[in-house]
Structure 1
Amino acid sequence: MTWLYGWNEASEAFRELAQRHGDLERIPHGGEGPGGEPLTVDVALFGPSRAARCVIVSSGLHGVEGVAGSAIQRSWLSQLTGTSTRVVLIHILNPFGFAWQRRVDGDNIDLNRNFLLSGEKFDGAPPGWQDVEPWLVPQRQASRWDALLPKALYAAARKGRKAVFQAISGGQYESPRGLFFGGSGPATLQGLLREGLPRWTQGAREVLHLDIHTGLGTSGELQLLLPRREGTQEADALVRRFGPDARPALETVRHYRVQGGLGPWCEELLPDCDYTLCGAEFGTVSALEVIAALHQENRAWFWGRRDDARSVWARNRLAHAFAPTSPTWRRRVLDRGVHLIDQAMEPQ
């Protein structure tokens, strides 16, 4: 399976495969890619339209992370022969981020911090954000010499690693040019999913949603992050289905807790079905290397020129932090990702 970093190439390859087996929706997203191409969210639909059970597989919520998600979806599609389960493949949830080699959307929104629940406000920041922001988001062009790593290590030694990662990554709503910005209101994707999800899952009593990510954890290894606590009936059932990669109690395996994540919002949107979203995280590089790559790309985007050599370097560094070129890494992620979808499809 070819690993594709360009939005046009990846989307065309996905659509060609999807149309062999089922129905395809191309939903305008707004915005354009680097070549002026209009961006869409492509959704492939397979199996009975009103099946009691539905499996959703999505990728690219964090744009550049969709490189692996696209390869996994296309590889699974290439082996598809038929299904009695309703299957919904959402190819790239954040086409702007994928097309421009960013993690965020066109408004610099980290979409997995944007899905606030009823009563929550787009306001505030985690404790410690004001302390890390000056060195995390310096207002200057990217540079190969980077003081971020020693400053982050010093902050972690003083305040604790978990506290620093929480301050950086938990989701902030104060700095529109900062990292992990959750937005000042609902992003475009919210409206798209609010209309689409009830329609794609209509008639289903059970919906199992796999949202594919990269960047967190040991390189090449999968952590399937479950939304239910260890010992609950729901978590036990998911562990039996997926095996040792499944990790109950999300907060025990992350470095931080996220506000505005996609899963709880989907559950709130569809209260009449048993909706479960599991984050499928494939490790790449160290957490500090991920933060450093995000930091440099953000500097290049806001305070650099796109064709400057430092900006090109920062974009490539980010792309490879979330989708390494190692053949061994790619093979392991592809094999495990396809197997994960097959496991989700199996009746219990």
Structure 2
Amino acid sequence: MGKPVTLTLQDLNVFPRSYNSAREKLKSLSQDLVQKVERQSFPLAGITDIDTESLATDTLWIGSPTAENVVILISATHGIEGFVGAAVQIDYLQQLRQNAPPPSGTAILIIFALNPFGFAQYRRCDEMGIDLNRNFIDFSQPLPANPGYVELQQAIYCEDRLQRNAMFEQFQEQEGQTAFEIAISGGQYTDQHGPFYGGQQPAHGNRVINQVIEDYRLNHRHLAVIDIHSGLGPYSHGELINDHPLNSPGFHVTNRWYGPSVTAPASGDSSSVKKAGLLDYRWHELMAERGSFITLEFGSYRTQAMFEVILENHRSWKLADPEAINASAIAMQEHFCPRDNYWRELILIKGRQVIQQAISGLKNE
């Protein structure tokens, strides 16, 4: 059994002020590790952030290049959520500097800022308006339909909040809360300026994942993938969401490794609903019976508040209103990474616990 997790205020310094500060911190810490570190960078072509720095997804492979077991930590699949994901990654690197490395035969792969544009610009979506976590579909086939989104599209763009909420409530009364959440957040492929847009082609982060799988030969290894998210669920709670198909090998492996707190949208006991095009699905193809993909979702404010800040963010960018965009950025950061130190302490504690569970699961499988 691992040691109890203890924190100090100094530990909270891992929460970055910006995309650039997170990237620099990660780079600095990785240079100080005694373990072997291999670095790669995947630049976002033609895009710069507000400081005119180049944007990129970075990877760090820590440990033996021939390790059979790999724990993969992903941040900023939903850009703005990188403030939390990067904090967990940075905290883990600090733990590696201070404590014993992972067991022999286990490597750590950190995928930092899978959506660097969203991280740098305080958005969930990428530079094309794509929600990366709705982008992992077969684009050679007809795009998934979401009739509920079409029905709610007028409400989504309604500037009068009371009128908008009245239209939302009418839909909820007629169709139910789950149908409402699927209509809004389940994924849509018709409205580029709208929320939860899955795109018309593979996004930057989608291409990076495929390249990383190839470069590190991940299809030949045993994997524990932890994709770090925030903004959905009870305040400060770290929900472990299992999107493996019900009763599949990966579903049972995930439940075995992480225990009875694991939830599953397919079972109806998760704060998340069923969604199209999840990043999870790409890893499920790869793993077969050799691993687990878990979404570590840190809750903050209520679901309705999340929809409000996301909708306002999309409206402000569609209007290209600098003042509204700036106000939206502040609201987005507070929703997806609250400034509350007690909230942040719980995020780091849960992050350390889940990483240790993944390492132990791979070791004992």
> How far is the alpha carbon of 1:82 from its aligned partner?
2.1
CA contact (8 A) 1:56 1:88 kept: yes
Q: Kindly tell me: are residues 251 and 315 of structure 1, through their superposed partners in 2, closer, same or farther at Cα, counting changes over 3 Å?
A: farther
Residue 156 of structure 1 and its aligned partner are, at CA, apart by 1.0
Counterpart in the other structure of 2:263:
247
Q: Does residue 129 of structure 1 match 2:152?
A: no
Rounded Cα–Cα distance in structure 2 between residues aligned with 1:211 and 1:328: 22
- Long gaps (5+) in structure 2: 1-11
Which of residues 236, 257, 265 in structure 2 aligns to 1:220? 236
Give the alignment partner of residue 191 of structure 2, picking from 172, 175, 182.
Answer: 175
Is 2:210 the counterpart of 1:194? yes
Matched, 1:260 2:261: no
Corresponding residue for residue 42 of structure 2: 27
- Paired with 2:147 and 2:294, the residues of 1 have a C-alpha distance of 27
Match of 1:10 among 22, 39, 53: 22
Contact 2:77 2:115 in 1 (8 A): yes
Residues 113-148 of structure 1 deviation map (CA, whole Å, 9 limit, x = unaligned):
001047543x3531221211111134x6xx8x6643
Indicate if the aligned counterparts of 1:230 and 1:249 stay in contact, CA closer than 8 A: no
**Corresponding residue for 1:289?**
305
Question: What's 1:209 paired with?
Answer: 225
Paired letter, 1:125: A
1:322 to 310, 332, 336: 336
Contact kept? 1:207, 1:273, Cα under 8 Å: no
CA offsets, 1:24-58, max 9 Å, x none? 22221221111211101111111111212111110
Counterpart position of 2:351: 337
1:169 is matched by which residue type in structure 2?
A: S
Gaps of 5+ in 1: none
Residue 316 of structure 2 aligns with an amino acid whose one-letter code is A
- Separation of aligned partners in 2, 1:319 and 1:149: 23
Structure 2 contact 71–107 (Cα < 8 Å) conserved: yes
CA deviations 1:162-219 (Å, max 9, x no partner) are 1111111111111111111100111122222212212224474311111000112111
Quote the offset at 1:7 in angstroms. 0.9
Change (3 A) 1:185 1:229: closer
TM-score of the two chains, using structure 1 as the length reference: 0.91
* Match status 1:96 vs 2:112: no
Tell me whether 331-340 or 153-162 shows the greater mean CA deviation: 153-162
Q: Distance in 1 between matches of 2:288 and 2:267?
A: 26
Taking a change above 3 Å as real, the CA distance of residues 120 and 279 of structure 1, as seen in their structure-2 partners, is: farther
Out of 150, 153, 174, the position equivalent to 1:158 is 174
Distance 1:251 1:322, change over 3 A: farther
Secondary structure of 1:186's counterpart equals coil
How far apart are residue 99 of structure 1 and its match?
A: 0.3
Distance 1:184 1:228, change over 3 A: closer
Contact 2:253 2:291 in 1 (8 A): no
Identify the match of residue 49 of structure 1 among 65, 70, 90.
65
Residues 282, 333 of structure 1: 8 Å contact kept? yes
- Displacement of 1:302 in angstroms is 1.3
TM-fit CA distance, 1:231: 5.5
Q: Could you state the TM-score of these two structures normalised by the residue count of structure 2?
A: 0.87
AA in 2 matched with 1:301: W
- Evaluate the alpha carbon distance shift between residue 13 and residue 171 of structure 1 in structure 2; reply closer, same or farther with a 3 A threshold: same
On the 8 A contact 1:65/1:322 being kept in 2, the answer is yes
Checking the alignment, whether the CA contact within 8 Å between 2:234 and 2:299 is kept in structure 1 is: yes
1:39 to 2:49 alignment: no
1:237 offset after TM fit, Å? 3.6
* Residue identity in the other structure for 1:71: A
Residues 278, 12 of structure 1: alpha-carbon distance in 2 compared, 3 angstrom cutoff = same
2:144–2:276 CA contact under 8 A, matched in 1 = no
CA RMSD after TM alignment: 2.2
Secondary structure of 1:56's partner?
A: strand
The number of aligned residues is 340
Residue matched to 2:9:
none
Task: Please say if residues 232 and 272 of structure 2, whose CA atoms lie closer than 8 Å, have aligned partners that are also in contact.
Answer: no
Residues 211, 279 of structure 1: 8 Å contact kept: yes
Query: In structure 1, what residue type is equivalent to 2:201?
Result: G
In the alignment, the residues of structure 2 paired with residue 251 and residue 127 of structure 1 have an alpha-carbon distance, to the nearest angstrom, of: 23
2:273 maps to amino acid: Y
Q: Is the 8 A contact 2:115 2:126 kept in 1?
A: yes
